[in-house]
């Protein structure tokens, strides 16, 4: 092991969306930021359907303009809402017709290109990003953190006054600092790949993500996320007992697709362009989102479920909230990580969690597919699905569980 005397004000673990935004914001505030990314970009990742609220957070570092400027060249698909299908019933949510103020459109993106774009934008602001560097150990010291980092076969040490874990599903600090705790959500599995979809614009509005429900098992759902180059991200999610581990990932995915007639028809000419992957037991939680010299961002802290594409939005919100608090901490001022980071972040996450739980127990499905919807309530729901889960002026944010439960009882569908 070599002793590296490099000292950073902030080390960020991971160069994904939350790491890129947090590092850019802190660099703008005048701090020396070092990002350690274990992989080499571009690299594949799921979480490909952004919510409009994301663009607000990216704007804090000028990254929204970067995304808009490169959208066409990188085949980002314009997105203005979500479509839902269940047993012949179709409905849509228009994100531009929503309760909360703010942008109502965004993009459906291949994360390999999107994440590299944001990381390059952070680097252009002066952020030092090292790819292929993995944190192997971390020790808390009186004035900061001592990290042991690997680059290939070599190890070195790095000292930092503060560490932000933006490692996503890698969950570096929860593992190294024993912060993991069981999620309150049941274990589920996802099978997914990219396809050349063969879907013409007349058959489906490519400006929307399509969420389909299995005709017999309403706790199984599918995503179809079209991209601008004629490809799409396709996935199915359900509890493990719905899948057969004795067959291939490909057979599991396509067997479930064939079971949903509308999706099977849409994808009749589809061809997979990469191997089907699987991810299981992905929901996670932690005992605390911060410590004396660290904080957890995005999926490194808590990951819910992909059903409403909230992952990137939560990740970017966490970066937006944490940057000014870390700034105060580094300046020796009173830094309220509980009141200004953890509590407000959990408020929106809690709102999303209410809707995730209500989706799987079918209460929210009953709301979505109800034929006679109130325009006012629909706009409130649209705002949350557009990512504005922190707008406490929205009654369905402020009292999400109680109001959604009452609404579901009013919107109960007749048995099919």
pLDDT tens digit sequence for 10-62: 999 999 999 999 999 999 999 999 999 999 999 999 999 999 999 999 999 99
Phi, psi of 219 (to 5 degrees): -90, 0
Q: Within a 13 Å sphere around the CA of 310, how many CA atoms are in the beta-carbon half?
A: 27
d(CA 26, CA 128) in angstroms, rounded, equals 12
The tokens describing 151, both together, are 């680059």
pLDDT at 148: 97
For 120, counting Cβ atoms within 10 Å of its Cβ (0-12 exposed, 13-18 middle, 19+ buried), the class is middle
List, in order of start, the domains of the chain with CATH numbers.
Answer: 2-76+107-181+283-347 (3.50.50.60), 189-280 (3.30.9.100)
CB 164 within 8 A of CB 12: yes
What pLDDT sits at residue 416? 36
Low-confidence ranges of the chain (pLDDT < 50): 1, 5, 413-416
Element (H, E) at 367: helix 363-368
Quick one: angle between helices 311-330 and 17-28, nearest 10? Answer: 30
Residue 284's pLDDT is 79
- What are the Cα distances from residue 391, in Å, to 118, 282, 385? 26, 27, 12
Report pLDDT digits (tens) over 310-355: 999 999 999 999 999 999 999 999 999 999 999 999 999 999 999 9
State how far the Cα of 416 lies from the Cα of 65, in Å rounded to an integer.
46
To the nearest 10°, the Cα dihedral for 185, 286, 347, 114? Answer: -90
Supply the pLDDT for residue 6.
53
DSSP codes, 192-250: EEEEE----TTTS-TTEEEEEE-SS-TT-EEEEEE-TTSEEEEEEEE-GGGS-TTS-HH
pLDDT value at residue 3: 52
| Contact present, 37 and 12 (Cβ < 8 Å) | no
Q: Nearest CA to 80 among 62, 92, 88, 67?
A: 92
Q: Report yes or no: 99 and 383 within 8 Å, Cβ to Cβ.
A: yes
Q: How far is CA 50 from the centre of its chain?
A: 8
CA-to-CA separations, 117 to 124, 128, 251, in angstroms, rounded = 10, 15, 34
pTM for the model: 0.95
């Amino acid at each position: 092991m070599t002793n590296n005397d490099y000292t950073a004000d902030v080390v960020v673990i991971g160069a994904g969306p939350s790491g890129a935004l947090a590092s850019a914001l802190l660099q703008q505030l005048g701090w020396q930021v070092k990002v350690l990314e274990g992989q080499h970009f571009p690299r594949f990742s799921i979480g490909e359907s952004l919510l409009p609220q994301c663009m607000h957070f990216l704007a804090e570092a000028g990254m929204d303009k970067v995304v808009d400027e490169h959208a066409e060249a990188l085949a980002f698909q314009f997105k203005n809402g979500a479509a839902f299908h269940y047993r012949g019933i179709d409905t849509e949510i228009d994100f531009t017709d929503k309760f909360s103020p703010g942008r109502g459109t965004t993009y459906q993106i291949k994360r390999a290109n999107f994440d590299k774009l944001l990381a390059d934008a952070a680097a252009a602001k002066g952020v030092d990003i090292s790819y292929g560097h993995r944190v192997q150990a971390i020790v808390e010291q009186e004035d900061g953190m001592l990290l042991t980092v690997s680059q290939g076969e070599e190890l070195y040490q790095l000292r930092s006054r503060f560490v932000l874990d933006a490692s996503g599903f890698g969950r570096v600090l929860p593992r190294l600092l024993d912060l993991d705790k069981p999620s309150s959500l049941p274990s589920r599995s996802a099978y997914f790949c990219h396809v050349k979809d063969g879907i013409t614009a007349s058959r489906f509005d490519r400006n929307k993500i399509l969420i389909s429900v299995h005709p017999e098992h309403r706790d199984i759902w599918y995503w179809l996320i079209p991209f601008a180059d004629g490809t799409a991200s396709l996935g199915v999610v359900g509890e493990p007992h719905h899948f057969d581990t004795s067959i291939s990932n490909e057979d599991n995915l396509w067997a479930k697709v064939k079971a949903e007639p509308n999706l099977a028809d849409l994808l009749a000419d589809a061809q997979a362009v990469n191997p089907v992957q699987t991810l299981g037991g992905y929901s996670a939680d932690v005992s605390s989102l911060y410590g004396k010299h660290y904080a957890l961002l995005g999926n490194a802290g808590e990951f819910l479920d992909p059903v409403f594409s909230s992952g990137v939005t939560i990740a970017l919100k966490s970066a937006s909230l944490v940057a000014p608090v870390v700034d105060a901490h580094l300046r020796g001022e009173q830094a309220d990580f509980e009141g200004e980071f953890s509590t407000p972040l959990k408020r929106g996450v809690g709102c999303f969690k209410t809707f995730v739980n209500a989706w799987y127990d079918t209460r929210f499905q009953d709301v979505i597919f109800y034929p006679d919807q109130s325009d006012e309530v629909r706009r409130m729901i649209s705002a949350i699905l557009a990512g504005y889960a922190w707008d406490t002026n929205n009654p369905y944010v402020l009292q999400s569980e109680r109001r959604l439960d009452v609404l579901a009882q009013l919107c109960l569908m007749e048995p099919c």
